[in-house]
Amino acid sequence: MFEFLRLKYARNLISYAGAVVTSVSSILFLFVFFLELFGFHTNPYTGIVAFLILPGFFIVGLTGIPLGMLYERRRRLSGRGTDKGVWPSLDLNDPNSRRATFFVAVMTFVNIVIVSLAGYRGLEYMDSVPFCGQLCHTVMDPEFAAYQDGPHSRVKCVGCHIGPGAPWFVRSKLSGVRQVFAVMAGSYSRPIPSPVHNLRPARDTCEQCHWPDKFHGDATDTIREFAQDATSTQSVTTLRLHVGSGGERSGVATGIHWHVSPANRIEYVATDETRQVIPYVRLTDASGNVREYTVEGVSQDELARGERRPMDCVDCHNRPTHPFSASAEKAVDAAMAYDQISPKLPWIKREAVAALKASYPSREAAFEAIAKRLEEFYRTQHADVHAAERDAVDRAVRTTQALYGRNVFPTMNVTWGTHPNNIGHTDSPGCFRCHDDDHKTKDGQVIRQDCDLCHTIE
């Protein structure tokens, strides 16, 4: 008789507990799976329970059933049971054996389907934006807010942080385990440090979509700034940026993208964690000629202790997906340029900037104080404007609150200028980290600080 599979040995607490855990977790998993399949839930915490925790319980329970059966058989072999624990025999001519075999086959198939669904959906969920940005809410709040408002908000986080292929997926998940423990222990950095030092090279990620050779010629950028006077006087600067090309197709690298040309290999040494201090640059050209540029006074020991890396896209585009305004002034300028804050309101630039730069104990307190400050200013000092331009004042209040909520996160110590942006050189060193006339070769050649190399002001 096929008595082993007729649950003869499954009548023990271990197997019973395993069966209960497996049944409950499988039912809950399938319930949430179909809820999500038809779009009835979007909570990231539901996802981690359904697709990571419940499958774990399912496998543990499933493993417990045969372990309990083996335990029961050993117990009977030792003489504590009612039989000697004889191994079952399989006889498909016997109806009971056939039924038991069919039952085991069906349940095995069901288990394989559930485990496969859980494994696939678990991996897919770990690659999702809610998992990356919303699961550890406090920690990732600044980065997730910037991501949602950034130029890559329709690109999944893993597209840039992991890229294609299994090796980097495994590396990222192992790193994620360490980060989970840091969150649980409250030992994570505030703010999250940047740059990410173990980020995959840009050629494997960014250049899956952005190919430096396809960006050529010049691009025009119009910068609008407003004075902090009664009329918020506007000044306009037009930059013609010499974007150029990487030169892979044409063979000639030009403009800003000369730096990432396959014909050139640029390496540098940064002596600080944020890569803002770069005292050494090495250029190897297409002919194999090498030039080394060093800032006077830096020692070989400092260079040896620094971080040496080949230059790639993220050395200039260091905030491509998580941009923050460099200052309250820049944030208000951008909002006024798009008429989100009306320049017609008197002294609005001054008042909005002052409201944004004040110190607040929390975001909620900031929103309340910003609204109170702007409302009182126009109600008490410009009552006519407050009455005639009520909608503009309300919009200015909402926009100023949104600017604060988008750029300042007190719990993570993120405020204006916390994360330097290396595009340009007005708010952080940027280009001038190397282009400063101080990086020199032994024969006196310098990395020039020539404005016309990268742009023309019109």
Of 76, 60, 57, give the one whose Cα is nearest residue 11. 76
Answer yes or no: are the C-beta atoms of 212 and 245 closer than 8 Å. Answer: yes
Q: Distance between CA atoms of 202 and 8, rounded to whole angstroms?
A: 60
At residue 11, the pLDDT reads: 72
Answer yes or no: are the C-beta atoms of 270 and 307 closer than 8 Å. Answer: yes
At residue 39, the pLDDT reads: 67
Q: What angle do CA 364, 370, 375 make, to 5 degrees?
A: 130
Per the DSSP assignment, residues forming a β-bridge with 439 are: 295
pLDDT digits (tens), the chain, 458 positions: 334 444 566 677 888 888 888 888 888 777 777 777 776 656 666 667 777 777 888 888 888 888 888 887 777 777 665 554 455 566 677 777 777 778 777 877 877 787 777 777 777 777 788 888 877 778 889 999 999 998 999 999 888 888 888 788 788 877 877 887 888 888 888 998 888 888 888 888 888 888 877 777 888 999 999 999 999 999 999 999 998 887 766 667 888 888 888 888 999 999 999 999 999 999 998 888 999 999 999 999 999 999 999 999 999 999 999 999 999 999 999 999 999 999 999 999 999 999 999 999 999 999 999 999 999 999 999 999 999 999 999 999 999 999 999 999 999 999 999 999 999 888 889 999 999 999 999 999 999 998 888 888 87
Q: Distance between CA atoms of 316 and 350, rounded to whole angstroms?
A: 31
Quick one: tokens of 52? Answer: 């990571």
Of 219, 217, 257, give the one whose Cα is nearest residue 238. 219
Q: Is the dihedral of CA 168, 173, 175, 176 positive or negative?
A: positive
Q: Distance between CA atoms of 264 and 311, rounded to whole angstroms?
A: 10
- Do β-strands 307-310 and 265-270 pair in parallel, antiparallel, or remain unpaired? antiparallel
**Cβ atoms within 10 Å of 151's Cβ, excluding its own:** 10
At residue 85, the pLDDT reads: 47
Q: Distance between CA atoms of 101 and 91, rounded to whole angstroms?
A: 10
At residue 223, the pLDDT reads: 92
